[in-house]
Amino acid sequence: MASYCQGLRALLSLYKSNPKIAYSFISNFSWTRSLSSSNFPSQFERIGFIGLGNMGSRMCNNLIKAGYNVAVHDVNLDVMKMFSEKGILTKDSPFEVAKASDVVITMLPSSSHVIDVYTGPKGLLLGGDRLRPWLFIDSSTIDPQTSRKLSVAISGCTLKREEDGWENPAMLDAPVSGGVLAAETGSLTFMVGGPEEAYIAAKPLFHSMGKNTIYCGGAGNGSTAKICNNLAMAVSMLGVSEAFALGQSLGIAASTLTKIINSSSARCWSSDSYNPVPGVMDGVPASRNYDGGFSSKLMAKDLNLAVASAKEVSLTFPLTSVAEEIFTELNNAGYGTKDFSCVFRHYYSGKDEHEAMLSMPCGIPDAQDIPMWDFDRKG
């Protein structure tokens, strides 16, 4: 373990003198998942994980598979029991997790949950300005300002014991992209903001839970990247859904329009990988009544974060505002747990492929429904 830590410190020194070479080394180095906990640097020996929902439980399971010694906490006692029955250490509060951990990872629903877990009556920072964990990683999707405020608060603390050269704790905001399936398979993408040295040191943890990590810069930039990504994803899904709904109304099959879009300038993820029309693509939420995937409720929440962030910097984003209104309306109408691609069916009243074709004999509208021009007009 000593040689591993020496190598890590050497890598950090190399990063400061020549970042390009260091990044090249890291990207080509295979952090194996078969390491036992005795091979980890000492700051990785005990990992705390808080938030064991659909995403967090799967991320935590991948850390356990990688050999980390994990302690967990969640407000859902049934989930806690499930982990306890697998032999995983469970704790009654975030503070108890912090006392037993070198690194703490949080995966929570909203900014208010994150603030409570960190600063609440039994929060991670209850110990005052002397903390046990050397690193806190928040993978929740929250507003950048909350990430930055927590980062400042944590960096102002000191460690109860110096850990391999670390004198002060650090925080990384590291939201993810990929959804439940990627969390299950360990193929998430992490968007990471915070101190560069902490990002480099935490790479083994990220690679145990995902396949891509992208360093976004200072504190809060990971959170910024996530809400910008989801903003673009929401607007893209609305545009694609509008196009398919219009196409169906004008008599073209969604499968045909999909082929055209996917080989033309409108090609995008919402069309070629996550098509919202039932009956066009297998393996996506639209093929299973919009169950699973990324919920409309969460999309509405993320768009709310984007709108609030735009107001903070005095920007007017009409597409973001309209998207937020639409997904909020979906949520209020009872479709909050459905995948956000359900906007095609439940907002635009789009039809599945089979249903649409049955309502369009020969695939085109009836002749009497087509307006005719008077070609005999003069002038």
Q: Are 79 and 49 in contact (CB under 8 A)?
A: no
Instruction: Evaluate whether 207 touches 31 at the Cβ level (below 8 Å).
Output: yes
| CA end-to-end span of the chain | 90
Comparing CA positions, the residue from 53, 95, 90 lying closest to residue 73 is: 90
CA distance 192 to 220: 9
Catalytic residue among 91, 203, 226, 301: 226
Structure token pair of residue 273: 């990988």
Amino acid at 111: S
d(CA 249, CA 344): 13
Q: What is each CA distance from 152 to 65, 91, 149, 155, in whole angstroms?
A: 33, 26, 5, 5
**Is 226 in the active site?**
yes
> Under 8 Å CB-to-CB from 317, ≥6 apart: which residues?
231, 306, 307, 310
Residues with catalytic annotation? 226
